[in-house]
Each structure stands twice: as C-alpha cells, then as structure tokens.
Amino acid sequence: MEEDKSSGTSNIEVSIIVPVYNEEGSLRPLYDELKQAIQQIDRNSEIIFVNDGSKDNSEAVLNQLAEQDSMVKVIHLQTNFGQTAAIAAGLDHAQGDIIIPIDADLQNDPRDIPRLLDKLAEGYDVVSGWRKNRRDKWFNRTLPSLVANKLISIISGVKLHDYGCTLKAYRRKVIKDIKLYGEMHRFIPIYSAWYGAKVTEIVVNHRPRRFGKSKYGFERVIKVILDLIVIKFLGDYAHKPIYIFGGVGILSFILAFLSGLWALYLKFFHKISFIQTPLPLLFVLLIVLGFNAILLGLLAEISIRTYYESQNKHTYLVKEKRNFKQ
Ligand code: UDP
Ligand code: MG
C-alpha cells in the first residue's frame, strides 16, 4: 500500500475544522474537495467535522465518511450550540500545529487552503480569508457585513477586510488560550494580534450556496456589534477593570463637586434657592453614581482575579524560552 501521508494518527500537522449544521447535501462534495487540497499540501492532516446538532441526515453522512477514512474525525454535539461553539469544540480536539476552520456549505473553497499555508509559511501566525467577491444576498448580508467589518477594523485597530470569513489559517500557539463565546470566532485574529501575533489576509474564493440554506439573517449584525463591545472592553480593560469603572466613578465625583459648587454660588451670590435648580439633585445623583461605579469596578476586579487565577491564565504570552528544562 502506498504510504498515505495524510492519515497517520500521530504527528498531525494540519487540522481542518468544519462546523456542520444541517448540511447533508454539501458534506460529500466538501470531503472530496478537502481531500484534493490535502493531497496538494502533502502534510499530515486531519479533518474534524463538528456536527452541531444537525436535524437532517448529516450525522449519518459524517459517520459514513469517518467509517471509510480514518483521516476524518467526527464530533457530534448533543444539540445545536452555534457555529462558534462548534469551532471551539473542534479546536479543543485538534492535534495539528496549524488550524484551518472552513464552512461546511461549500461557500469557502478548499483550493484556497494551500495558498493560506504558503502565506503562513512566510512567517505569519494568522492568515485570514477575504471574500472580496462575496456571493451572498447583497442587502441583508453583504452590505451589513461591509459596515460591520469597517467598524470592527476601526475599533479593534487590527486592519482586515473580512473578519466573518470562516476560512482562515492559524498557528495553534497563538490561539490555544483563547476561549470563544457568542459569535466570537470571527474575532480570533484580533485577540491574537493583541497578543503579538503577526496577522495578514489573502483574497479567497467565495461561492454561492448550492445545498441547504443559510442559518443566519440580519440579526447576526446586532450580535456581532454587541460582541465587539465586549471584545473592546475585555481587550482594553480586562486586566484592570477598575480603570474604566473607577474612571467613570471619579468623573462622576468631579461633576458632582462642580454642580454642588455651582448651586452654592447661585444661592449665596444670586439668592437662587437650592430648590429652584436641578443642581442639588444632580449633585446627589452623581455622588451615588460615582460610588456605584467604583464599587462595580472593585467587584469586576475580584471576578477578573478569579478568572485568571482559578484557570491559571496568564496576562502575557511567551514567544520562546531558552535554557529552560521544559
Ligand atoms: N453552522 C453551525 N451551527 C449553527 C449555524 C451554522 O455549525 O448553529 C455552520 C454551518 O453549517 C456552516 C457554517 O456554520 O458550515 C456557516 O453557516 P452559514 O453558511 O449558514 O453562514 P453564512 O455563510 O450564511 O454566513
Ligand atoms: Mg455559508
């Protein structure tokens, strides 16, 4: 038998992760295309299909694929947890040093995989796909995504055109500590860039959906924007929440002090009684707000410490170590 470089169980170099929700029609053609791509890159690979609680025949099709090819690994989730959770499950089980998530619906093109790897080999840690010529409905998908991408790019400071494209290539070391919530798989490049990863993008092919239907509509834009606020907050202040809460608190105290002074000034120099202006009320309100903000900040400090310390998380990422035993 000829040596099949890609089906060895150990020393897996590349893990392809496919989140699957009701994609029965696409799975076999996708598998064929992935196999071709893997043959071309000629590296030890695994394909991890994560069945995200599909209600169609996907489960049976995936089991058949796993039966016929040991390179195919399948994780069936108990129910539908969403694309991000499915990708996270794949990441947790992936063995390769290079991780490539790809959509199951054939909209991403496996022929781009070798190009992603070539770019990675130039010394990047993350290569993101850019669906420059996106083949989705313009008004409720492509347009909102254009706006969202611009916004994310400005707020995150990581300049990419298409955060939402699932097809990307990552070096495992830059993503192994990232925990994914909500719609956040699209923000992995941002996290990694904040931790010093070298991030770039290449234009990838995008195809219209052939089988099944899209799982998302316009409401996803709202989720993405809310996630963005969380990301920004976590990125800037996760280590020191008291800086933002305390900042708001101190600002409130200053404003309270100014309204108090103003009220006194009006009373003693212009004979305007306290009850004639809203200033005393504002004074009290701002004092209460200030205390609350600072107390919330302290609470956030406690929870962030629990977060890092209970899970042994680090506030830094080591690039390399020399002369250490492990
Ligand atoms: N998906 C998933 N769980 C979900 C929704 C979607 O695993 O709850 C998968 C889906 O099967 C596909 C990918 O995520 O492989 C992207 O979904 P879809 O094609 O519907 O998104 P779009 O391309 O329209 O943005
Ligand atoms: Mg799709």
User: In this structure, which residue's CA is closest to atom 8 in ligand 1?
Assistant: 82
DSSP string, 163-232: TT---EEEEHHHHTT----TTGGGGHHHHHHHTT--EEEEE--B----SS--S--THHHHHHHHHHHHHH
* CB neighbour list of residue 188: distance below 8 Å, 6 or more residues apart: 126, 168, 170, 175, 178, 180
Mean pLDDT calculated for residue range 195-217: 93
Distance 241 CA to ligand 2 centre (A): 37
Beta bridge partners of 168: 128
Q: pLDDT exceeding 70 applies to what percent of the chain?
A: 96
CA within 13 Å, CB half, 264: 7
Q: Is the pLDDT of residue 7 over 90?
A: no
- Give ion ligand 2 contacts, CB < 5 A: 105, 107
The whole-number pLDDT of residue 326 equals 62
pLDDT of residue 225: 86
Distance in angstroms (rounded) separating the CA atoms of residues 294 and 201: 41
What is the chain's mean pLDDT, rounded? 91
Best residue for ligand 1 mutational test, from 215, 216, 223, 224 (most atoms within 8 Å of Cβ): 215
Q: What is the pLDDT of residues 123-181, one digit of tens each?
A: 999 999 999 999 888 888 889 889 999 999 998 899 999 999 999 999 998 888 787 87
Tracing tokens 């991030």 back to the chain, one arrives at 199
Q: How far apart are the first and last CA of the chain?
A: 39
Residue 98: partners with Cβ closer than 8 Å, 6 or more residues away: 13, 14, 15, 117, 120, 169, 170, 171, 172
313 pLDDT tier (thresholds 50, 70, 90): confident
- By C-alpha distance, which of 127, 131, 74 is closest to 108? 131
**pLDDT for the residue 1:** 40
Average pLDDT over residues 190-214: 94
Q: Counting atoms of ligand 1 from 1, which one is nearest the CA of 22? A: 11
What's the CA gap between 86 and 212, in Å, rounded? 18
Residues with CB under 6 A from ligand 1: 19-21, 23, 52, 80, 82-83, 86, 103-105, 107, 214-216
- State the pLDDT confidence band at 209, using cuts at 50, 70 and 90: very high
Q: What is the pLDDT of residue 37?
A: 97
Probe ligand 1: pick from 16, 17, 18, 21, max atoms within 8 Å of CB? 21
Residue 10 has pLDDT above 70, yes or no: no
Task: Identify the residue whose C-alpha is closest to ligand 1 atom 18.
Answer: 214
Protein residue with its CA nearest to atom 22 in ligand 1:
214
From 105, 138, 213, the mutation candidate for ligand 1 (largest count of ligand atoms within 8 A of CB) is 105
Helices 279-310, 241-270: crossing angle, 10 deg rounding:
170
Q: Is 322 helix (H, G, I), strand (E, B) or coil?
A: coil
Nearest alpha carbon to residue 64 among 35, 22, 27: 27
DSSP state of 108: B
Closest residue by Cα to residue 43 from 106, 95, 101, 109: 95
Looking at per-residue confidence, does 267 or 307 come out higher? 267
Task: Say if residue 234's pLDDT is above 90.
Answer: no
